[in-house]
Amino acid sequence: MSVPKISVYSIKSLFRALSHPPSLRAKRLGPNLREKIILRVSSINQCNVCSVFHENLARWEGLSRQDIAEARNPDSDDEQDGDTRLLFHYAEIRTSNLEKEFPEVVQAFEQAFDEATQREVRAIVDLFTFNNRFNNSWEGWLPGAKRRRQSMGLTGPRVDHTQRTSAKP
């Protein structure tokens, strides 16, 4: 039996997110932009559970289907204003642990936004990078995984460990 693994980067992301608890509760971005960033991060990490959950939350916050689709799709960034486009680009880079490879984007992000907004964006990206990767690694192993996925309209875990049978030698 193989045990799912969480990457070192996702663990670092969790610790970074938790290092600034007030940033996780901040409201500088507003609920719509916050949900758009979460949808982008969940899309990058291919976390269907978080994506479905936050799509519903985004609708509750008033985002349209088009807003949600644009938030998930980097090809639609031309439809966004400059600040939102920069936030999305930075979120993608941080989610993928590529800040060192794109210093010009990091610098533009730091120049465009005040320190409190930067901390909030980083905390959101880091927390959801961890959450997404945790869900992708362990969700199928947790009790009720199949039921949870079905209730969200998902087809089921990639590997349904709840249906495993033990083979006798």
Please report, in angstroms and rounded to a whole number, the separation of the first and last CA atoms in the chain: 15
Residue 64 in domain: yes
Distance CA(26)–CA(30), nearest Å, equals 9
Distance CA(49)–CA(142), nearest Å, equals 13
pLDDT per position as a tens digit, 51-74? 888 999 999 999 999 999 988 888
Residue 109 in domain: yes
CATH of the domain at 44: 1.20.1290.10
169 against 99, higher pLDDT:
99
pLDDT per position as a tens digit, 80-115? 788 999 999 999 999 999 999 999 999 999 999 999
Residue 123 — very low, low, confident or very high, per pLDDT cuts 50/70/90?
Answer: very high
Residue 46 has phi, psi (to 5 degrees) of 55, 45
Q: Whole domain around residue 77: which residue ranges? A: 28-157
Tokens of 146: 């199949």
Tokens of 100: 């060192």
Given a cut of 70, whether residue 17 has pLDDT beyond it is: yes
Instruction: Give pTM, 2 decimals.
Output: 0.75
Q: How many domains does the chain have?
A: 1
